[in-house]
């Protein structure tokens, strides 16, 4: 039996299940992204020209663990405040789901396919979708919105880094 509303969960005393599930969900794509990145960060990525201000490679897993936890918990707060997966939750949790799908897609595009142009377009769309998610969350839960601020800030840095890598590493045309 799937429980969709906060009332059903509260009646059964299982309120911690959605909190753990929604907080953990973003990490699933993070694990997959880490699997893709692990090899490429030692082989392909070092061949790219990168700006001097880029964070060290070791910072990325730590930062993403914190960001995924914050965004996941924020989604739980919104879900709880709206009474579960209700009609009112369609836009705020739909935008959240879209940004999560875009987030999970960036790594396979950049590290997996080595498509710098597509990864730049994708991360710009991701950053805009995170902003839209935050706007939709603000009237529902300011705490959830504030939990997304570090994520949006990191995405601005990551977008700038992606832009510089794209600019400084022109993709070769077929036959070059």
Q: Contact, 95 vs 78, CB < 8 A?
A: no
Query: Is pLDDT above 90 for 43?
Result: yes
Q: Is the dihedral of CA 129, 3, 67, 63 positive or negative?
A: negative
pLDDT for res 3 = 45
Provide the pLDDT for residue 12. Answer: 58
Distance, in Å, from the CA atom of 5 to the CA atom of 81, rounded to the nearest integer, reads 11
Domain boundaries, the chain: 6-168
The pLDDT of residue 61 is 92
For residues 96 and 46, the answer to whether their CB atoms sit within 8 Å is no
Q: What is the pTM of this model?
A: 0.88
CATH code assigned to 6-168: 1.20.1260.100
Whether the CB-CB separation of 141 and 74 falls below 8 Å is answered with yes
Q: What is the pLDDT of residue 6?
A: 58
Among the listed ranges 32-46, 79-93, 98-112, which one has the minimum average pLDDT value?
Answer: 32-46
**CA 104 to CA 92: how far, in whole Å?**
18
Q: Are 82 and 89 in contact (CB under 8 A)?
A: yes
**How many angstroms separate the CA atoms of 76 and 22, rounded?**
6
């Amino acid at each position: 039996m799937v429980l969709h509303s906060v009332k059903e969960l509260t009646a059964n005393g299982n309120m911690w299940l959605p909190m753990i599930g929604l907080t953990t969900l973003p990490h699933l794509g993070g694990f997959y992204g880490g699997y893709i990145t692990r090899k490429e960060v030692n082989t392909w990525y070092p061949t790219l020209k990168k700006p001097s201000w880029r964070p060290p490679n070791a910072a990325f897993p730590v930062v993403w663990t914190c960001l995924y936890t914050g965004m996941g918990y924020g989604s739980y707060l919104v879900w709880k405040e709206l009474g579960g997966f209700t009609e009112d939750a369609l836009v705020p949790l739909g935008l959240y789901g879209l940004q999560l799908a875009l987030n999970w897609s960036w790594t396979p595009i950049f590290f997996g396919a080595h498509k710098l142009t597509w990864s730049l377009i994708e991360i710009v769309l991701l950053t805009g979708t995170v902003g839209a998610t935050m706007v939709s969350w603000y009237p529902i839960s300011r705490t959830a919105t504030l939990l997304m601020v570090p994520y949006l800030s990191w995405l601005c840095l990551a977008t700038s880094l992606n832009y510089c890598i794209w600019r400084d590493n022109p993709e070769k045309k077929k036959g070059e």
